[in-house]
Structure formats: structure tokens, C-alpha cells
Amino acid sequence: MGLFKCLRYFEVEQNKPAVVTFTGGMGAQIISAAIYFSMKNEGSPVYADLSYFEKPESVAVVGKAGDCSHWSWQLKPFGLSFESFITSSGLNKRNANLLKDGPRKLELGLKALAQPEVQKSFEISASINGVLSAQFEDDFLCVHVRRGDYVNVASHLVADSEFISLSKKFAGLISTIVVLSDSPIDENFRNALSSNFKVVSFMDNTDAYTAHCIMRKARVLICSNSQFSLVAAALNNSALVLVPKQWFGGKDSNVETSIQSRCLFQIMDIGAQ
């Protein structure tokens, strides 16, 4: 049964249908959709819980502790609408296996995204592929700096200095760097990298789909501790991908297990204390 055998992660009976909950932004939505498509491809009974989207989108105020954005449907650029999924009307935790956000869901999502048939559901459109190919003619290093509303709820943030230090290690190897962020990029950050690369692009006002596609076309991708860049990395089969050693703090650290298990090497920083 392949991936469906991983329903041991649900810790419930296997004779019940699976219900995949959809929540969050583009990265989280892709993970949910990938699991759904993988199970459907295998002939397993699977449904989608789309109730999260009954609430209208609201963008959190950066700096307001605990305030988190509530996102709208972000899979439309991939040709996926609500109608692409069979919804879970009438199913609940008593008669279905509910797959909610957490370490087990992330593990299943990463396994699903490794499957070629699932990857086809998230192909980059020909129009934007042509635009990006013309804009970034050479191999480039892409750095994703997650900030925005994430600073309100994150148990851990990768520091600017860590992104800068790691990026500089590729100076001389790659001539172009693209820095993506969901909030204004600090001037000191810009200055620290500008003199190290021949072509430098700082993009802090880019829509989610374009940013996602840029990361998927990068030759080297430095991820933040974010599902958004992690999913882009999973769908970029040709990139050298670097992910943070620490993703979360405290009790959330168990989420890192499914990510780190896919890392073959780590970057050694001789100067680290």
C-alpha cells in the first residue's frame, strides 16, 4: 500500500477513510494537497477538510505577539480549486482518520512530495517559467528569509547574521544571489551581501506564487525555518538545498525529526561559538 501504510502515524484504525485538513499559507496547503493526491493515487479512501477557508483572509499585524495571519486559498496558480478535492462532509474523528497539522503530517507530506506523480500537480506554469528564465539567465543562489507575521508566533527565528554568513560561502562560486522575504529587508543585510555577488536582487514585495517559483528554479537554495521554502525545496529536484539545523524551540522541536532525517550533510562553521 506504499504511503498508505504510513497511517500508523495516525495511531487509529486503518479501516476508516482519511481526512486531510487544509490550513495555513501556500506551503502548508501544498503539503496537505500532496498527501491527498498521494493517497488518492493509491486508491485509498481520502477526503479533504476545507473548513479553514470558511473564514475570510486576515493579515496579522507584525509585532503583535500571538497574532497570526489567516490565509485564503493559494493553490489556484497550480490549477487547483476547491473542486479538485472531495470534501469530508459528514466525517469526523469517530468515523475517519483526521490528519491535522503536526510532525506526522509533515512526514507524510515530504514523502508524498518525493513522488513524481504528485509533483506533476504542482508544475510551474509555462508563462511564469518563461519570465523567470529570462530574468535569471544564469544559475543563482536563492535565500528565503521568513519574517512577516511569523515573528509574532515563532519559537525560533534564524538570525540575519546566519543567512549572511552562509550566503557568503558561495561568493565566487555563484555570481547571482536572490533574497526573498515577506517583510522589508534590512539595509545592513543588503549592504553585507551586495559587494559579494556580481548580480544581487532583493525581493521583499513578491507574491507567494512567484516567490515559490523562484525558489524552485534556484541552483542553490538556502531555506528559512518555514514550510514555504521547505516545500519549494522538495519540488526543486536539481538544487543544492540547505536547511536550518534548528527549526523550532521548546516542545515544537520534535517537528525537526522528519526534516533532519533527509539531510545527508551539515555545514560546518569554524567560527561558530
pLDDT of residue 1: 38
Around 2, how many Cα atoms within 13 Å sit in the side-chain half-sphere?
13
- Out of 107, 122, 137, pick the residue that ends a domain: 122
Regarding whether 253 and 131 lie in a shared domain, the answer is yes
Determine, yes or no, domain membership for 96: yes
Contact 203, 142 (CB under 8 A): no
Residue 28 has pLDDT above 90, yes or no: yes
Tell me, yes or no, whether 136 and 246 share the same domain: yes
Q: Is residue 273 part of a domain?
A: no
In the chain the beta strands, taken as DSSP E runs, fall at: 18-21, 46-49, 97-99, 140-145, 176-181, 199-203, 220-222, 240-242
Regarding whether 158 and 48 lie in a shared domain, the answer is: no
Pair 117, 133 in one domain: no
Co-location of 141 and 252 in the same domain:
yes
Cβ atoms of 173 and 198 closer than 8 Å: no
**Would you call 146 exposed, middle or buried from its count of C-beta atoms within 10 A (0-12, 13-18, 19+)?**
buried
The answer to the question of residue 86 being in a domain is yes
Residue 215 lies inside a defined structural domain of this protein: yes
Number of domains observed in the structure of the chain: 2
For residues 92 and 190, give the distance between their C-alpha atoms in angstroms, rounded to a whole number: 49
Residue with grid cell 493509491, as numbered in its chain: 42
Q: Among the three residues 122, 150, 169, which one is the final residue of a domain in this structure?
A: 122
In a domain, residue 256? The reply is yes
202-241 pLDDT per residue, tens = 999 899 999 999 999 999 999 998 899 999 999 999 999 9
154 with 94, same domain? no
**Which of 81, 101, 122 is where one domain is finished?**
122
Residue 226, domain CATH: 3.40.50.11350
**N-term to C-term CA, the chain:** 47
Q: Global pTM?
A: 0.88
Q: Are residues 118 and 177 in the same domain?
A: no
**Do 200 and 131 have their domain in common?**
yes
Whether residues 142 and 230 fall in one domain: yes
98-122: burial string, b at 16+ Cβ within 10 Å, e else: bbebebbbbbbbbbbbbbeebbebb
Q: Would you say residue 15 lies in a domain?
A: yes
SS (H, E, C) 135-193: HCCCCEEEEEECCCCHHHHCCCCCCHHHHHHHHHCCECCECEEEEEECCCCCHHHHHHH
- Phi, psi for residue 98 in degrees, rounded to 5: -85, 120
User: Rounded to whole angstroms, how far apart are CA atoms 221 and 235?
Assistant: 12
The reported pLDDT for the residue numbered 12 is 40
* 100 and 152, same domain (yes or no): no
Count of C-beta atoms within a 10 Å radius of residue 268: 6
Q: What is the pLDDT of residue 27?
A: 95
Residue 247 grid coordinates: 527549526
Query: In what helix (H) or strand (E) does residue 33 lie, and over which residues does it extend?
Result: helix 26-41
Cα 253 from Cα 215, distance rounded (Å): 25
Render pLDDT for 160-219 as a digit per residue (tens, 0 to 9). Answer: 999 999 999 999 999 999 999 988 899 999 999 999 999 999 999 899 999 999 999 999
Question: Residue 38: which domain range?
Answer: 2-122
Split at pLDDT 50, 70, 90, the class of 150 is: low
56 occurs within a structural domain: yes
Estimate the share of the chain in helix, then strand, then coil, as percent rounded to the nearest 5: 40, 15, 45
Are 136 and 111 found together in one domain?
no
Residue 22 in any domain: the answer is: yes
Same domain, 7 and 117: yes
- Percent of the chain exceeding pLDDT 70 equals 86
